[in-house]
Amino acid sequence: DTGVSQDPRHKITKRGQNVTFRCDPISEHNRLYWYRQTLGQGPEFLTYFQNEAQLEKSRLLSDRFSAERPKGSFSTLEIQRTEQGDSAMYLCASSFDIRAWHEQYFGPGTRLTVT
Amino acid sequence: AQKVTQAQTEISVVEKEDVTLDCVYETRDTTYYLFWYKQPPSGELVFLIRRNSFDEQNEISGRYSWNFQKSTSSFNFTITASQVVDSAVYFCALSEVGRDDKIIFGKGTRLHILP
């Protein structure tokens, strides 16, 4: 399977714990996006990378959130001191910016539940 | 500012009926893309269609059709002869071209197809 993969698919954690999610984009894709989807809402943009550079961060991304893409390949999203409001589906997408439109391919998501 | 409004939060129809999902968008840009995605209970986002702002031709793909009207800033989606497998949440989305290409999603319409 050469699509976008995310790990883990599900995570249950207690409030106050730190969690880290991983996204592996399609191999030749140089752009990587993180979105968050809360219950009953559409996905909302969090941040994106062009290669290893983080170029934009949404105001939704509080200082408890940090994302990295150290070698321009996989990316990690870490949430420190989780809160119940962090419970959501975290979606990763990747694209290749050579073409006029950079088609984003979404992964299956990581569902986070904070108890 | 960009915004996508899906006024219908939930729709139920009986199998084989036709159903139209409404989408209204706002953007200041003249160049943009519009999308529809399907999210079945499994949670994965399934891309259905992308339409650029310069192409107002309606599109038909099997039982699916899309009506794009710039004059009313609408991009509606019709399923003809609905089937139970069409039950899902459907998202309309917008992206402005040439920037970060982040996608702005509506809140979704949950579609129930009753047997």
pLDDT in tens, A1-11: 579 999 999 99
Interface contact B75, partner A, CB < 8 A: no
Residue A99 pLDDT: 61
Whether the per-residue pLDDT at B99 is higher than 80: the answer is no
Higher pLDDT, A107 or B56: A107
Q: How confident is the model at residue A101 (pLDDT cuts 50, 70, 90)?
A: low
* Other beta carbons within 10 Å of A1: 4
What φ, ψ does residue B53 adopt, rounded to 5°?
-65, -15
Read off the pLDDT of each residue in B44-49 and give the average, rounded to a whole number: 90
Whether the per-residue pLDDT at B106 is higher than 80: the answer is yes
Residue B5 pLDDT: 97
Q: Which residues of A touch B98 (CB under 8 A)?
A: none
Whether the per-residue pLDDT at B97 is higher than 80: the answer is no
Of B45, B102, B104, the CB nearest to A91: B45
Distance from CA of B83 to the nearest CA of A (A): 23
Q: Which residues of A touch B105 (CB under 8 A)?
A: 42-44
Distance from CA of A102 to the nearest CA of B (A): 7
Of A103, A105, A109, the CB nearest to B43: A109
Kindly determine whether residue B50 and residue A31, on different chains, have CB atoms separated by under 8 Å: no
DSSP B54-71: T----EEETTEEEEEEGG
What φ, ψ does residue B60 adopt, rounded to 5°?
-125, 135
Interface contact B102, partner A, CB < 8 A: yes
Alpha carbon of residue B47 to chain centroid = 10
* Per-residue pLDDT tens digits for B58-81: 888 999 999 999 999 999 999 999
Residue A102 pLDDT: 66
Q: Would you call the peptide bond into B115 cis, given omega within 30 degrees of 0 as the criterion?
A: no
A55: nearest CA in chain B?
B100
Q: Which residues of A touch B100 (CB under 8 A)?
A: 48, 55-56
Interface contact B50, partner A, CB < 8 A: yes
Residue A103 pLDDT: 79
* Per-residue pLDDT tens digits for A34-91: 999 999 999 999 999 999 999 888 988 889 999 999 988 999 999 999 999 999 999 9
Taking all residues of chain B, what is their mean pLDDT, rounded to a whole number?
93
B45: nearest CA in chain A?
A106
Whether the per-residue pLDDT at B98 is higher than 80: the answer is no
Pairing of strands A110-114, A10-13: parallel
Read off the pLDDT of each residue in B47-56 and give the average, rounded to a whole number: 89
